[in-house]
Amino acid sequence: MFEIKKYLQEQRLLVEEALRRHMLAAAGDFAAHIETMSYSLFVGGKRVRPILCLAAGRCVNTAPDIDEQLLPAACALECIHTYSLIHDDLPAMDNDDLRRGQPTCHKKFGEAEAILAGDSLLTYAFELLASEQFFGPAPATRLRQIAILAKAAGPLGMVGGQFLDIASEKKQIPFELLQTIHRSKTGALLTAAVQMGAVGGGADEAQLQALMEYGQAVGLAFQIADDLLDVTASTVQLGKTAGHDAEQGKATYPAFFGIEKSRALADEAAERAVAALSNFDQRAEPLRALAQYIVSRTH
């Protein structure tokens, strides 16, 4: 039996060590700004996206140094994710006071400071991927990873999905638009994490296609599970304000289908993710276990 919780803890520590190694030091004239960036980056989190990146790369590459090759991409993903959370919590967006059980960035440092911290994390992610000082894949591979990440995080990906999410608040929208919101706001970056790992590991086209299908299904399962937790979990369990989606009139799967149907749809998405890995050997076991864990988690 694969021990997913032990695996996630080990991988989280690996990612956090790399983040601390690659993060700028809070010194000199920019010390306060870098401290603000670091606060949200290290305040906690499951590190799902970088873990997916590493796991996907290991599926297709057994080189002893594969982790070191992929860690800059993994760290870049977490920088992008953290920036999105900082901005998502702002008063003009979801207006939340808690994130990962701690005061949100703008509550601790101020709104302008939080906006700039998010801006810098977004930009620094691409410095991590592009800089020659970090050991990583060949330049052509890094360029491909940069393109994947930029597309996933941009106007037709995460940011566009956030725009649609806000524009749809307190409105009746068609289910097709809800699917677009989820696929863009959450699914795009999760799929990109798997793609970046696969590309960094040298996946062939068949492997890349299968891993992309896995990432898309996992992204949907993850977002439905998040929607459900907002309804069923407590603020203490979530580390952020529970019931926030309903309060803001968000378009969610439970709002469309109720709790039980939504749970069934999350399970179906997780099953599709596992099925996409049918041609992979035991090296894909972490990805299979992750798909199941995502829909069974309690926070």
Q: pTM for the complete prediction?
A: 0.94
**Residue with more model confidence, 134 or 259:** 259
Q: Could you please report the per-residue DSSP string of 170-229? A: TS---HHHHHHHHIIIIIHHHHHHHHHHHHHTT--HHHHHHHHHHHHHHHHHHHHHHHHH
Query: How do residues 193-209 score in pLDDT, each as one tens digit?
Result: 999 999 999 999 999 99
Instruction: Quote the number of domains for the chain.
Output: 1
pLDDT at 296 (0 to 100) = 86
How many other CB atoms are found less than 10 A from the CB of residue 256? 15
Give the sign of the dihedral formed by CA 95, CA 155, CA 23, CA 47. positive
Residue 29: give its domain's CATH number.
1.10.600.10
Q: How far apart are CA 74 and CA 87, in angstroms?
A: 20
pLDDT at 238 (0 to 100) = 59
Q: Please give the sequence-ordered ranges of beta strands (E in DSSP) within the chain, or none if there are none.
A: 98-99, 102-103
pLDDT at 163 over 80: yes
At residue 137, the 3 state secondary structure works out as coil
**Residue with more model confidence, 134 or 54:** 54
Q: Over pLDDT 90: what percentage of the chain?
A: 81
Q: How far apart are CA 182 and CA 191, in angstroms?
A: 12
pLDDT at 242 over 60: no
Least confident of 95-109, 116-130, 131-145: 131-145
At residue 131, the 3 state secondary structure works out as coil
- Mean pLDDT, range 231-243, rounded to an integer: 66
pLDDT at 69 over 80: yes
- Domain holding 158, by residue range, is 4-296
